[in-house]
Amino acid sequence: MKKVLYAMPISAIQKEALSALTGLSFIFADRKEISDQDLTEAQIVIGNLSKEQLQKCTSLEWIQLDSAGCNHVLWLNDTIAITTASGAYGPAIAEHMIGCTLMVMKNLMRYEKQAPDWTNLGAVRTLDHSTVCSVGTGDIGSAFLSRMHMLGSRTIGVRRTLHDLPEWMDVQYTMENMDEALAQSDVIALSLPETAETIHMFDSRRMHKMKKGSILINVGRGSAIVTDDLIEMAKEKWFSGICLDVTDPEPLPRNNALWNQENVYITPHISGKCNGEGTFERIAAIIYHNLKHYLAGEPLEHTVSRTRQY
């Protein structure tokens, strides 16, 4: 009987379904109130625990994260399997990115700031005359591009290696020739994991490769962008809008200059989480199916590669 520490919210229906799985003994606990004994005995952990808590999990064989990101647990011994909730967050985050795009394109925040003045701020861009690029074409990037394609945009994907072109992607580039994609894009969306390769991938030199007046969106990891360089780009008014749901550092200090830059819009890492309807259910489904795979001796889904770091 494998001992499973389930340290995330769960509905009564989901608890009943999990409890019916034979071969597993569950402890359902609030992650802030887990005993040391529960941590020591847990062979499977469901949910994102702190490093201090995980260091006490001396019997751990597998951790199923409730996040798509995993860089905070890559220090674990490589004999411990790590799986993520990748695939659960794409729809909600893609809608957040579309909202950011339209907010900037249609001058919505500028109109909000000028109210109650009744002034036409002039011409705006449209999605069907725009080229949209996603750097990163995993679950989130793919969800964004597919929706933008349906809305009429020309879509570009930047990925590690070239694959068969999906119907919702017009062109694809590799990371090596990314600059070609950036130069022709009206919207550049970043949904990258944090790895050795992606940290500070977007410095002043690379951001100046982007079309002047374009929109920059980051929903991946704040470390992909050099923050000081981004501040200078904002002061330079290179972008028509900078939309950040992630920052470096995070939370972004109140005295950071990004807060005071025109056309910079910051949200506190909320595009994902379980804020979006349906996200919690998708996470629960991933967990349930992975537990069934585990019991059947089948490969787990969304397994993290220590080499790729995601």
Question: What digits encode the pLDDT tens for the residues 203-259?
Answer: 999 999 999 999 999 999 999 999 999 999 999 999 999 999 999 999 999 999 999
Say whether pLDDT at 274 is over 90.
no
Confidence label for 273 from pLDDT (cuts 50, 70 and 90)? confident
- What distance in Å separates the CA atoms of residue 148 and residue 105, rounded to the nearest whole number? 14
Express the helix, strand and coil content of the chain in percent, nearest 5 each.
35, 15, 50
Q: Distances in Å between the alpha carbon of 20 and those of 10, 23, 288?
A: 15, 9, 11
- What distance in Å separates the CA atoms of residue 128 and residue 139, rounded to the nearest whole number? 23
Computed over every residue of the chain, the mean pLDDT equals: 96
Q: Hey, CA dihedral for 283, 289, 293, 294, is it positive or negative?
A: positive
- What distance in Å separates the CA atoms of residue 141 and residue 268, rounded to the nearest whole number? 20
Task: State the angle between helix axes of 139-150 and 90-105 in degrees (0 to 180), rounded to the nearest 10.
Answer: 50
What tokens does 283 get? 């996470």
Of 204, 174, 191, the closest CA to residue 245 belongs to: 191
Provide the percentage of residues in the chain whose pLDDT is more than 90: 97
3-state secondary structure of 21: coil
In this predicted structure, what is the pLDDT of residue 150? 98
Say whether pLDDT at 294 is over 90.
yes
Each residue's pLDDT tens digit, 158-201:
999 999 999 999 999 999 999 999 999 999 999 999 999 999 99
Each residue's pLDDT tens digit, 92-103:
999 999 999 999
> Where is 171: in which H helix or E strand?
strand 171-174
DSSP characters over 169-225? -SEEEEGGGHHHHHHT-SEEEE-----TTTTT-B-HHHHTTSPTT-EEEE-S-GGGB
- What distance in Å separates the CA atoms of residue 27 and residue 103, rounded to the nearest whole number? 44
Confidence label for 28 from pLDDT (cuts 50, 70 and 90)? very high
In this predicted structure, what is the pLDDT of residue 286? 97
- Residue 103 half-sphere exposure, CB side, CA atoms within 13 Å? 18
In this predicted structure, what is the pLDDT of residue 245? 98
- What distance in Å separates the CA atoms of residue 164 and residue 137, rounded to the nearest whole number? 13
Domains of the chain, CATH where assigned = 2-87+277-295 (3.40.50.720), 90-266 (3.40.50.720)
Of 202, 214, 50, the closest CA to residue 135 belongs to: 202
